Structures are given as C-alpha cells and as structure tokens.
Amino acid sequence: MIAEAGHYALVLAFGLALIQSVVPIVGARRGDIALMEMARSTALAQLLFVGASFCLLTALHVTSDFSVVNVFENSHSAKPLLYKITGVWGNHEGSMLLWVSILALFGAMVAAFGTNLPVSLRANVLAVQAWVAGAFYLFILLTSNPFARIAQPPIEGRDLNPILQDIGLAVHPPMLYLGYVGFSISFSFAVAALLEGRIDAAWARWVRPWTLVAWVFLTLGIAMGSYWAYYELGWGGWWFWDPVENASLMPWLAGTALLHSALVMEKRNALKVWTILLSILTFSLSLLGTFLVRSGVLTSVHAFATDPARGVFILLILCIFIGGSLALYALRAPSLKQGGLFAPISREGALVLNNLFLTTACATVFVGTLYPLGLEVLTSEKISVGAPFFNLTFGPLFVPLLIAVPFGPLLPWKRGDLLAASQRLTAAGIAALVAIALLFAWQRGGPMLAPLAIGLAVWVIAGVLSDIAERTGLFRIPFSVSLRRARGLPRSAWGTAFAHAGLGVALIGVVCETTWNSEYIATMKPDQVARVAGYELKLEGLTQRQGPNYRETLAQFAVSLDGKSLPVMTPSKRSFTTRGMSTTEAALLTRGASQLYVSLGDASADGGIAVRIYHKPLVLLIWWGPVLMAFGGVLSLSDRRLRVGAPKPARAARALQAAE
Amino acid sequence: MNPWFVFALMTVAAVFAVLWPLGRRYPSQTGGTEASVYRDQLAEVDRDLAGGLIGAAEAEAARIEIGRRLLAASDQEAVPAAGPNHSLRRAVAIVALVVLPLAAIALYLPLGSPQLGDFPLAARSQAAPDGKQPLVNLVAQVEAHLEKNPTDARGWTVLAPVLERLGRFDDAVRAWRNAITYGGDSSERRADLGEALVGAANGVVTGDAKAEFERSVAMNPDEVKASYFLGLAAEQDGRTGDAASIWKAMLARAPPDAPWRPLVQAALTRVGGVAPALSNEAMAAAKDMNDTDRNAMVRGMVERLATRLKQNGDDVEGWLRLVRAYLVMGEREKAVMASTDARQAVGGDAERLRQLNEGLKNLGVDG
C-alpha cells in the first residue's frame, strides 16, 4: 500500500503538472485571473504529491520492503539507518525522484513567496516550470519507475554500492540537485519573459536572488563532491576532469556568469537580453549534465545504444527544451526592449568582461567533455580528454579573469576610471609582487609557475581587502569611524568580498597541493617506518573487524613529527560481501590547512600491505575557498535591500555605448 | 486500509487544488506591478542617502534614472484587464473533475500493482514458516543469528551446504570463508569452499577454486573432493592426460566400496577415449544408430560445447575442438565464426592467443 500510494501520488503530480502547464498560459492570454491563479494552487499541490511520493519511497527503504525493485536492488536489511535513507537517492530511479521533488519545491516557493510578482508573469513562470516537471514525471513513470514491484519478494536486498555508503551521499547529491534544479527558476523566468514579450523591473528583481540560491548550493555541492572523491577514492586526487565532474562545472561557470549579468540587470536595467540567453544556457547545461550522468552514455556509448530507452527519452527532453527555448529566444529576443547604456570602462563593462571569460571557459569544458563522445559515436574510436587539455585551455582563460577580478568592484557604475582604480590597487599589486619574490627566494630552482600563481592569488585577496579598506576609509579616518562604516556597508558588498577572496584562497590551495605534494608509496610490514615531509609514520599492526555489513582491515600508524607524537592514524580497507566489492577508507590527519593522508592498498602474501602516504600542504584551502564563496553568496542573499546602481553624475559629456 | 480508498482521497485533494482558484473572488489588483518596484527603489535611495552610504550627487542621479523608468512603466500600465471567461472556466472544471481522475487511473493501472500489499522485512521475518518456503525462512533466521554472532563457526558450517542447495553460491562461499576464519582451516572446509566457488562460476573450476583445492590437497593428499575437482580443472583446461592420471591415482588408492567410485570412473572414461568428448558407451550406442540420430547426437554435443565456451571462453583447446567439429560437419561458416569468437574471448591473454592462432592455422581456418 505504501509503495502503491507513492506511485499513485507521482501519477497525480504528473496530471497536475499537465494542467498547470496549459491553463495558466491560456489565462494569461485571456486575462482571466482565476485561471492564472490556478498555477499557484497546482504548484503547491504538486509539491504535496511529489513530496509524499519521495517520503513514501524513503519509508520503503527504511523498512526494507524488498517487494519494491528499487529497494531490493539498492538496499540491505543490515545497512545502517543513515545509508538506508541516503540510499533512496543513491540510485538512478530514486535520484530522479529527488530531482523532481526539488523542482516541485522551487515551483512551490515561487507560488508561495511570489506575491509581489505581476500575476501574468507568475502564471507564465509556473507554467514553464510545469513543462519541465511534466517531462520528467513522464520520464520517471515510463522508464525509471522507483515503485516497480516484485510479486515474490526476495529475502535480502543487493545492498548499495559500497563507495556510496558514506556521509558524502547524504550531502552531495541533494546540494548538487538544489543547484542544478534551482537554475530552472531563472530558466522559467526567462522563457516566461519571452512568452510575454517584455522584461519588467520585477523580473530583474526576482531572477538574481533565485540564481544566487542555486549558485550557492551548486558551489557547495561541487566542493563537497570533490572532497568526497578526495577521501573516498583512496589516492588523494580532488579533481579529475571527469565528464561527470565537468557536467556539474559547466552549469556552475554559466551560473556564475548569469549571477554577474543578473546583477547588472537588477541594478542598471542593462544586459537584459544577454541575461535571458544566459538563463536559458545555464539550465540547458544542467539538463545536459543530467543527461550525461543519467543516460549511461558516459560509461559506454555502446552500452547506451543497447538499452536506449532512458537515454533517448532524456535526449528528447533535452532537445525539446533547449531547442524550443533557443528558438523562442531567436523569435522573440529582437522585440524585447533594450536596456540602459554604459561606457566600456565601468562596473558594467567589468561584468561583461567577466561574462566573456566565464562563458569561454564554459565552452572549453563543453568541448573537452563532449568531443570524445562525439568522436566515439562517429568513428567508434575511444579517446580521453584529460587534465592536460583542460590545464592548457582552462588555465590561460582564468589568469586574465583573476587579474581583472579586483578591478570590478572598484569601478563605479555607468562610467568608470581605470587609472583611479589601479591607483587604489597599488598596495595589492605590491603585496602580490612581494609574495612572488619571497616564494622564489624560498624555493630556489623549483617550478616557475607556482610562485607566479600564488602571487596571482595574493593579488586577488589583497585586491578584495583594499576594496573593503577603501570603502570603510581604513587608515584615513579614525579606526572607530571605519569600524562603524564597515558595519554600515551593505551586506552584498561583504558578499562580493568573501566570494572573490574565496577564489584566491582556493587557488592557493590548488597550487600548493599540486606543487609541493609529497608522497610515499610502498609495501610496509608491521614496525616499519615511513618518512614523509618530516613526519614519521610507524605501522604498528593490522587488525580485522566486523562491521554491520562489511569486514574491514585496519592498520594503525603511530605518527610523530620531530619526536613529538601525534594522534594515531587508522586507515582501513572494507570488503562488502553482498556486492563482493571493497572500499578504502583513508585516514586524514589535519594540521592547520595541511593534511597527512594514508590509504591502504592490497595485502601481500608475506604479511605486508601496500600503503600510500601523502603530505598535502594547504590542501584544505581548496575547499575552504568554495565555502567562502558560498558564504559570500549567502551574505549577499541576506541583503534584503533593493538594488539600485547609483551612477556617478556625468562630469563631462562622453559618448556612451549601447549595452547590447 | 484499502488502497483504492487512499487513491480516492488523493484524487479528491488534486481535484480540489484545481477547482479552488476557480471559486474564489479576487481583488481588482493582485500581484506586484512594475511601478511599485520603482517606487520601492526610490524609497531605497532615500534610505541609503540618510544612512550615508551614497553621496547626495549619486542619489540625485539615481533618482533621475529611476524616475525615468517609472514614467515609462506608468505609460505601459494602461492594459485593459479582461473579465472572467466563464466558458473557459467551465471547461477547466470539467477537466479537473473528469479528465484528471480518469487519466490518473488510466496511467496508473498498467504501471502499478494495486493488488500487492506491503512486505516490510520486519513483518516477514516474524511470520511463522508458512510451509511454502520453510527452508528459506529458517535460513533467514540462521543468517540473522550469524549477523549478530559472526564468530559462530558451527553456524556457518551448518548454513553453508544449505545455501549451496538453495543455489545461493556467493553466500555459501562467504559462509565457508567465515567457517574457515573462525573455526580453523581444514582440508575438508577448503574443498567445500572450492566446490561453492565452482558452483558460483556455473560449474567452471576457476583459478580461485583451483587454488582452494590445491591448498586442501596440500593439507591432506587423500582429500577426495579436492582431488576430483583438480582432475575436473585439468579436463576443463584441456589437459585430459593430467585429468586421467589424477583420477586413475584416486581409484588406485580408493577402497573398493567407496561411494564415489562410479563418479570418478565415469569421469575417467570421459577423458580416456580417443575422441575425448565421447565416452565408450556413447560411442557404442552411436554405432547402433542410423545416420540421422548420430548426427543429432553429435550436434547436441557440439552445441553443449559451444554454450560452455560462451560462458567460459578461456579454454583454447575447447575452442579448437569446436572449430574442428564444425569443419568435420562441413559447416565452414560456423567454424570461421567460432574462431572469431575465440580470438575475442582469449584476446586478453597473449600466450593463449598465440596457441589459438597456431591451432587455427593447423586446421586451415586462419583469417
């Protein structure tokens, strides 16, 4: 009954989505307010039914009802409760249900909180939202039904993939989906604006906060995924330029660009048409990511071809939504009203530059991810485009972007003065040069690029600090006054500062980890000692232990630095009997922002065990950076003020450029 | 609770969500307008100016710009609001009341299984053995006991053969491993573990299984089961001579009344003849058959061989035998296909591939 109720709720949600995707649009055309308002009640009811469906599936997993195929294939009665719950979205069907649940959540939020939106805009937005939802409900019901049943339930389930039995699964996919799906709101707004044929001020006020919410979650989701890969996969890599990772990075890059162009639109009413295009592109990339990950096209093009139902269905959704929205854009964009004017050297100009670099970077990732797939389809030749390609293309694009970052916030709206901005950044420039010089002196003969890259990071962080110092008048006026000013600064300004500083922090982490990482890989026997970066690790012994649904081999390492003993590290290897798989559980010892990382390999016949020990200097900065960025996003989001870009009054008549 | 009752309640809720907006009265102005956004913005500029966040000149410039937008927006706002469209509303109400429930049922019925109840694990394990699958329930109980007391070696030893009989070979392998870990190593247990591994590999003596049998024989050279399977491994590897000598040695040492004698003898005759896959009795029977029957028998054997090779393609000798058989039967096309399959199957191993290619060349089917 639980399973069937969940199943029926999903069917009803699909029915409601169909009504919601037609009636409000008709209402908006005919000017009938009741029909337009129907979008709100159906959106809320959709959340009710999909939410119920999701909760019921969770209940099935928790009670280990193996008469449901999804539970049988992905759960085990001996699994700890947490993994029974996270296992709900640790598989294809369940994760698609999570996807639509979050979509319904966002739709319901627009319905509930969108009271200050013009009625027809709200109706159109929710109708577009229902198109997306309807397509995915149908996808789930026809090709990936999580409520399919087995008449003769087996005694025991097949267990969840052991790699997924980790706290990371509890956090990473929901975050990532909140990000992916959150961009559907800006997409719906963009398509609704195209349908209405006009972009009003309320449109601009709404798109930025929604984009920001999605962006914050996506940032955290990607960072979390990267940290999870780092400690779970057992060899200390944190980014692999894997297509699945790229699939999440592309919407992030486009979303970051969207965030900045939405800012221009909100404050200055400019770049409207471009923002609409970016909204469409960002969500299209989210859909593409879903397609890549969910159709199985990545594991093998051929595997995809042998069981094509799912892949073809998502591909169809992808083509209809991307093609349809872009066609609508081509049709309607020229008739939209152009926005405000600005000079090339201005805050707007800086943000356009930012958009240019971010979209180009996104395009390179796009090419690097899809080219191998296309080649395999056409010539069935398998190539892999890995780190070298991305380092060579993505890196050079980010360098000028990072150099430009500190200038942006210092330039005034509408028309700015590059020279004045540079003068105010002198201190930051000096700090960067000093950092480079010190690093060269310290490491003598090491890699050339590392000090330069760290100098760049210092430049970004120092630039942010000088911006804040400038705004609060630090060192020019009494300290207490600048403290008061700092408190009075809009929270969005602090948000910008944190987000930009996070970029620099992450860069420092990346450079230090890749340049000064030291490792020790060998087979060790008990009482042997390994020396890595000044640390001494002594293998004290191996023990066996029985976990709830696995057995594990634990190794105890006594760690000491300069004779001082540090906490014991116990990496382990777990073997899961049901699936016959094993996972490595790395042991991490955090010292400041640096980490010592120990993971186990296979045991050898003579009682030794393969051990990989890494010392990763400042590695944690890689993830503190994104956390700072997300924190900046939250700060900016909490700024409930309206945003008006106050331009400096024109001192001299200057030729203004059109925005688009 | 009856599922249909729950479905009906849910449907009513969904229909209500559609009908409710139709029945409400709306104030003439709901939702925000563009002008109100600009008015809010003007107020914001005043607040910023008062708080000292922007200078007077900037505030003035911002006010002028917002004012300009406000004027433009006010011009546009004179859109005539159309009245309610009653026929349209009636159509939507009909859709909600009739089409939505019907469509939901029509979609649900082919997908769902409303006749199936819940089967939560707790309820199932408490239920008394219902006579239909008593063994399965008993096994579940023993398994639950062993999950809690994994060091109970006797429990594992009892459970493992039952699991094997149920066809759950992977679990049986795990059970024997646990029995060895907690109950000590012995030649019998190693042999049983190997047998479970063979079962898990659908009758193929894999490398893992062979290793277990070898360990067992190392502990006790007279271990019958392990010796028999080592012979079988040799036969499956195509080393029929080795297989025959292992089994001959077993029979030589065995007491005359050993219950396994017939089995080993049968195995020995299987590999002892000139035509390795054909036993003497079968040959004798074949002599008496007419041509059609004989062909059918040969074909059956060839097919069995082909099926076995499909499951385990490592066996170079087997592949060559298959190709030879097809050539003898005059089916050259199938022989060529089989040799292609064989190359794919052993392609991972350079040494085997070389053997295969040489053999194929001798048969005259090298591609």
Computed over its alpha carbons, how large is the radius of gyration of chain A?
27
- The pLDDT of residue A492 is 84
* pTM recorded for the entire structure: 0.76
Name the nearest CA neighbour of B184 among B232, B138, B151, B136.
B151
- Burial category of A656 from C-beta neighbours within 10 Å (exposed 0-12, middle 13-18, buried 19 and up): middle
Interface of B with A in 92-111 (CB under 8 A): 92, 95-96, 100, 103-104, 107-108, 111
Q: Is residue B13 assigned to a domain?
A: yes
Cβ contact, residue pair A16, B147, below 8 Å: no
Comparison of pLDDT for B81 and A555, the residue scoring more = A555
Q: Which two tokens stand for residue B209?
A: 């299984």
Cβ separation A648–B140 shorter than 8 A: no
Place of tokens 């450029």: A657
Instruction: Assess B116–A contact: CB distance below 8 Å, yes or no.
Output: yes
Which residues 6+ apart lie within 8 Å of A174 measured at CB?
Answer: A89, A98, A102
In a domain, B84, yes or no: yes
pLDDT confidence band for B278 (50 / 70 / 90): very low
The arithmetic mean of pLDDT across residues B73-87, rounded, is: 65
Number of domains in chain B: 1
B77 within some domain: yes
Confidence of residue A119 (pLDDT cuts 50, 70, 90): confident
| A200 to chain B: closest CA residue | B34
Least confident of A230-234, A617-621, A639-643, B299-303: A639-643
Quote the pLDDT of residue B366: 59
Chain B hits for A77, CB-CB cut-off 8 Å, are 121
| Nearest Cβ partner for A488 among B45, B51, B119 | B51
Contact across the interface for B21 and A67, Cβ inside 8 Å: no
Percent of chain B topping pLDDT 70: 83
Beta-carbon separation of A1 and B34 below 8 A: no
Contact B62 A117 (CB under 8 A): no
Q: Is A459 left (phi over 0), alpha (psi -120 to 50) or beta?
A: alpha
pLDDT on residue B53: 67
Residue A7: name the closest of A145, A105, A135 by CA: A145
Instruction: Using CA coordinates, name the residue in chain A closest to B96.
Output: A19
Per the model's pLDDT, the better-predicted residue between A343 and B365 turns out to be A343
B257–chain A nearest CA distance, Å: 41
B14 touches chain A (CB under 8 A): yes
More confident residue, A175 or B116: A175
Give the pLDDT score at B291: 61
Residues on chain A touching B50 (C-beta within 8 angstroms)? none
Name the residue range of residue B67's domain. Answer: 3-111
Summarize pLDDT for A482-529 with one digit per residue, the tens.
Answer: 888 888 788 888 999 999 999 999 999 999 998 888 889 889 988 899
Among the listed ranges A442-446, A618-622, B190-194, which one has the minimum average pLDDT value?
A442-446
Give dist(CA A96, CA A76) in Å, integer: 21
Summarised one tens digit per residue, pLDDT across range B131-174 is 444 566 677 778 888 888 888 888 888 888 888 876 678 888 88
Q: Which residues of chain B from 29 to 88 reach within 8 Å of chain A, CB to CB?
A: 30-34, 36-38, 40-41, 44-45, 47-48, 51-54, 57-62, 65-66, 69, 73, 80-85, 88
Q: Is residue B217 part of a domain?
A: no
B160, B172 contact by CB (below 8 A): yes
Query: For the residues B221-246, what does the mean pLDDT come to?
Result: 85
Q: What mean pLDDT is predicted for residues B339-354? A: 78
B36 interaction partners in chain A (CB closer than 8 Å) = 116
Question: Using CB atoms within 10 A of its CB, is residue A83 exposed (0-12), middle (13-18) or buried (19+)?
Answer: buried
Q: Comparing C-alpha atoms, which of A175, A302, A182 is closest to residue A254?
A: A182
What is the rounded average pLDDT for all residues in chain A?
87
- Backbone phi, then psi, for B255, in 5-degree steps? -65, 150
Q: What is the pLDDT of residue B275?
A: 33
Q: How confident is the model at residue A356 (pLDDT cuts 50, 70, 90)?
A: very high
In tens, the pLDDT along A189-234 reads 999 999 988 787 778 778 888 899 999 999 999 999 999 989 888 7
A290 phi and psi angles, rounded to 5 deg:
-60, -40
Q: Does residue B356 belong to any structural domain of this protein?
A: no
Determine the pLDDT at residue A653. 38
Nearest to B30 among A31, A63, A119 (CB): A119
Q: What pLDDT, on the 0 to 100 scale, is given for residue B126?
A: 58
In sequence order, what are the residues at sequence separation of 6 or more whose Cβ sits closer than 8 angstroms to the Cβ of residue A425? A406, A407, A410, A463, A466
Burial of A97 (0-12, 13-18, 19+ CB in 10 A): buried
From A38, A201, A488, residue closest to B34, measured CB to CB: A201
Q: Which of B147-161, B221-235, B317-331 has the lowest mean pLDDT?
A: B317-331
